[in-house]
Chain A
Amino acid sequence: MTTSDATSAAPLLEIRHLRKAFGTRAVLGDVSFQVQPGAVLSVLGRSGTGKSVLLKCVVGLLEHDGGEVLFRGQSLENPAARKALRQASSYVFQQNALFDSATVFENVLMPLRARGEGERELWPQRVRDVLHRLELEDATDRYPAELSGGMQKRLAVARALVTEPELVFFDEPTAGLDPLRRNAVFSLIARLQRERRFTAVLVTHDVQEALVVSSHVLWLDSGTVQFDGMAALFATAQEPALREFRDNIEALRESLRSVANPTST
């Protein structure tokens, strides 16, 4: 089922018939969707359905085999449009991709320095501001390896937000985190998105949390779009495949709860 949520506004990002295969294994079949300015789009799906591959094709880290990606109506085949996307966006990697030989402060300074953005004299203050917001101000001189998993994730988010991007891509931002930290990361994303009004594309396995922070949902299965619409519709849709997906997630949660707390069952 594809429920396109068309609006009158021009999409910030548009993906048309994207295809990607690794050798003979097709990962993305024919993926099309739009991201409106200010939206938070969660890309959901089982492991191995091509969610992260989709994100990497969109930003140009992987070359797609067919289809088109447009940013503000311009195809990314055009180098100027690709540059515009990279100037206007940030990416939070699944494994954080922090610069391990640089301190926390230097990691966050890097995007400002790389793009030569704004006034040079203001860079240190901008870095301190974002570190303060993400409660990392006491760790400025430490190296990423000296931080906990949650702090590393916050640092990755800080690095992504220091340039005040228009569009942020989050690739599995809660991968490998415990439930408490997962909730904290989703709360953080929701709070920062409200404060800064950036558009977000969020790849995740955490359906319940994603539905809370997202305005829109894209559900991928076997490399094709099975649902594309408002998050509220995804939570209540009665299509058999969708119900099965949600039921499986819920069953897994129940099973994990009973393992963690056997007396409650």
Chain B
Amino acid sequence: MSEYLGKLTLQGVSALGRWAVFSVRALREVRSGQALGTRLVRALFEQGVRCVPVIAVVAAFTGMVLGLQGHYVLSRFGATGMLGTLVSLSLCRELGPVLAALMIAGQAGTALSAELGIQRSTEQIDAIELMDVSPEGFLVGARLVGAFFVFPVLTAFFVLIGVAGGWLSGCVLMPHDSNSYWGAVHEAIRGKDIRECLLKAAVFGFLTTALCAYQGFYAHRSGEAGARAVGLATVRGIVLSSIAILAADYLITAVLL
């Protein structure tokens, strides 16, 4: 048993090391293969623009549920005036960064794993390598750089839509005062909250993009081949990303509180 655990630990540490080397190489060699601008624009479009609809829908419903639940719970204590505070702080400090990252990972992360997995299984990555281009830098680097911008921007968008959703359910569908709601939002959010929100988003962006890319890039090492390897890489990418987001969320919160 102890031998098995030791082996598992060594495998885990080794995989973590390979992932770190992969990520650093992707960033360091981002210029390899030229056309960085084009690759960056494509990354911003795929991770950013394409995820806007899903972010908007999820944020709106999250805010609406918070508005409803908040109104119900706060009214028990006669504190409905705190609804704006509850909705905005919940979204800004926790739900916004985490849910936005999970949504982007679900859409852009899985697409990235599958794309790289197929490129691996059809030898396209080998072809790039033989052109004396770093495949990590060429295929992944721009997406990592893009993630540092996209995740914070989409998280801010998520928070704004979510707060509006809270207003819709709390003040339009329920009998809460709009002025009181927006006043509480204005009072509650501080610079520190926004910085924490954006920091979390940037860290989640790096983690999910690097993890999903790594799984796709090395899909052939899973012991499976072809379509099955791509499917496995995609599942691993999203599962590991989700775990990493929640673990990092706890760590960052614990450090910054």
State the A residues within 8 Å of B (CB).
59, 61, 83, 86-87, 89-91, 93, 95, 97-100, 110-111, 113-116
Contacts and interface: CB of A to CB of B under 8 A. Distances in A.
Given A86-B130, A97-B122, 5 more contacts: A59-B130, A89-B130, A97-B123, A114-B132, A114-B138
Contacts of B138: 114
B33 A114 contact: yes
Given A113-B35, A114-B33, A116-B34, A100 B132 contact: no
A95 B131 contact: no
A100 B131 contact: no
A128 to B, nearest CB: 19
Nearest to A107: B127
Interface string B128-139: 111111000010
Given A114-B33, A114-B34, A99 B129 contact: no
B34 A97 contact: no
Contacts of A61: 126, 129-130
A100 B33 contact: no
A93 B33 CA distance: 20
A110 B139 CA distance: 13
Task: Indicate the member of B34, B131, B133 with the most A CB atoms within 10 Å.
Answer: B131
A87 B130 CA distance: 9
B122 A111 contact: no
6 contacts: A61-B129, A86-B131, A87-B132, A89-B130, A100-B124, A114-B128
Contact of A86 (B34, B123, B132): B132
A83 B132 contact: yes
Interface residues of B, number: 16
Nearest to B33: A114
A59 B131 CA distance: 11
A194 B197 CA distance: 64
Interface of B: 33-35, 118, 122-124, 126-133, 138
Q: Tell me if A's interface is mostly helix, strand, loop or mixed.
A: mixed
A71 to B, nearest CB: 13
Contacts of B122: 95, 97, 100
A93 B126 contact: yes
A115 B131 contact: yes
A100 B114 CA distance: 14
A25 to B, nearest CB: 17
Nearest to A101: B115
Task: Indicate the member of A97, A113, A115 with the most B CB atoms within 10 Å.
Answer: A97
Contacts of B126: 61, 93, 97
A114 B133 contact: yes
Contact of A95 (B34, B118, B123, B132): B123
B42 to A, nearest CB: 10
Contacts of B131: 86, 110-111, 114-115
Task: Indicate the member of B118, B128, B138 with the most A CB atoms within 10 Å.
Answer: B128
Contacts of B118: 100
Task: Indicate the member of B33, B126, B127, B133 with the most A CB atoms within 10 Å.
Answer: B127
Contacts of A86: 130-132
A93 B127 contact: yes
A99 to B, nearest CB: 6
A89 to B, nearest CB: 8
Contacts of B129: 61
A168 to B, nearest CB: 11
A50 to B, nearest CB: 18
A80 to B, nearest CB: 12
A86 B129 CA distance: 9
A137 to B, nearest CB: 23
A158 to B, nearest CB: 13
